[in-house]
Structure 1
Amino acid sequence: MRNHTLVTTFILLGFREDPTWQIVTFFFLFITYLLSVTGNLIIILLTLLDSHLKSPIYFFLQKFSFSLTSTCIPRFLVSIVTKDKTISIEACFTQLFAGLIFGIAQFFLLGVMSYDRYVAICKPLHYTTIMNTRVCTWLFGTCCLIALLAICPGVIVSLGLEFCDAIIEHFICDYSPILKLSCSDTKSMQLVNFIFAIIILLMTLALVMFSYGKIISTILRFPSAQQKKAFSTCSFHMIVVSISYGSSIFMYIKPSEEERIALNKGVAILTISVAPVLNPFIYTLRISKSKKP
């Protein structure tokens, strides 16, 4: 018999306990969350209502606007106000798996969006045939299905875990800090999660790099007057790709345990708070440029 108390709730430590820092954190996250939700809703409404924005790229931008932000930021804001840092195991795992589904689906969606740009620039005469409504819907559904299947092994194993500690060194429910609390040896599970993450990143990044390699080689054969316009059609997507992959890759540069915790929190803020705020501005620029005569 293992001598431990059954843990039914976790405690999310969050950031510093300093009241001033808590106030700064609250207002920063609240403002970025408000801007993110408002901006992404505007993007969705624009793509739904404007007849000029019915092309496949806007279909994918509309789906991409559903970000990770709402899976964890509102709950963290409430915990700052109420000073209640506890969260039930069920709620914690729901937040974790919802965030994973959104995150994985978005990486595959970035790959699909890069393929859309490849078809638009390299095969313009066949664009409407290749990227028709049925194909776009199928591609989006496939992204969601892959994300769901990717987290299934983790869900099945995680549901059988028992925990000896309740304190999570994070402000959200993340895999690594949760697995550290388990009573059993989770090294093999952490290794599997790491391998899955690397495979997903490399697969989607390979598709993005292949698509943009073909795009660049095609654009360089254009007359100089057309090159600028061609580059502008995909430059905004490349900004989103850089933010998404850059923040995720840095998560695996972990020099020490203390720096690992601080790095994970910093990357989490960039991924779920800052990036979703930038996306609407990037997309708005993309839409405004595309509507210029």
Structure 2
Amino acid sequence: MARQETSGHEGEARQKLRTSRQVYDQIRWDPRLDPAAFVIGYETRESGTAEIGLPSFDPEGEIPWHRIQYIRQGTTTVWDRRQRVDLLEGKRNAPAPSAQYGLDARPVHRSALALIPPRETWAPIEAIRQAHDRHVARWMPHINLLYGFLPEAAFAEATGAIAAALRDVAPFEVTLDDVRRFQHRAGATVWLHPRSEPPGALEALQARLEALFPQCSEQSTVSAGGFTPHLSIAQLRGEHGEHGEHGEALVAEWRRILPITFQARAIHLLSRRGDEAFAIRHAIPLGEPPLAAR
């Protein structure tokens, strides 16, 4: 039996709409697109639909991907879940952004370059996270320096580049000295504030790494204030996320575990394989040659 020819419109209707995550990643890393020009519209339980600037959207934050309903650029909707619109579909073949040392892979959110506190400091932090952090099974306590980062396939080359760039960066002291909040529409992310000694050492380390991998700039561009070093411990919703009595009581209780002081002697390349948690793949000592991969 001869196969019937389908019309162009029927063929288009059968094409699978790209996910909001795929479109988000394209806008973030396509050098022809300006992320600051885009807005994400998402469903909320309280008020129907709300919007957030694309650079302020946290891929691992409070807004699930399935609640994103549209993405617009100015007054033009470039992606719409219900209407099955994807105006950026034809612009996907952009060249990948380049980085030094030939590391030109696009950043992904399955890898990170982070500072991990020593395991002996984890117990009081994890006690809070087990009860209040929905990411506790995915991440160990960490301070992200670059996230997203290069795919794990580029780690071996990245390790050598990072070690060379940080050879003259001495270890420094970090003290978790306060409990603070990033306020969101539906609640708040609670985090421990890391203070470095000498002052600014942590921020200088992040800036040097971002200069080495300029396409991995999400941590410094997600807000107008630039890079804010933080160690997340909880997400609070509703009245708990506001400055109500219960939220304030929790923060006051959590401040009792502070200060926590440790030496930052290495930074760590992390990746997540499949549904596994993030794991350390390489440790790069400050001021020394790199350690072997794990």
- Normalising by structure 2, we get a TM-score of 0.23
State the structure with bigger RCO (CA 8 A, min sep 6), 1 or 2.
Answer: 1
- Normalising by structure 1, we get a TM-score of 0.23
Q: Which has the higher helix share?
A: 1
Q: Which has the higher strand share?
A: 2
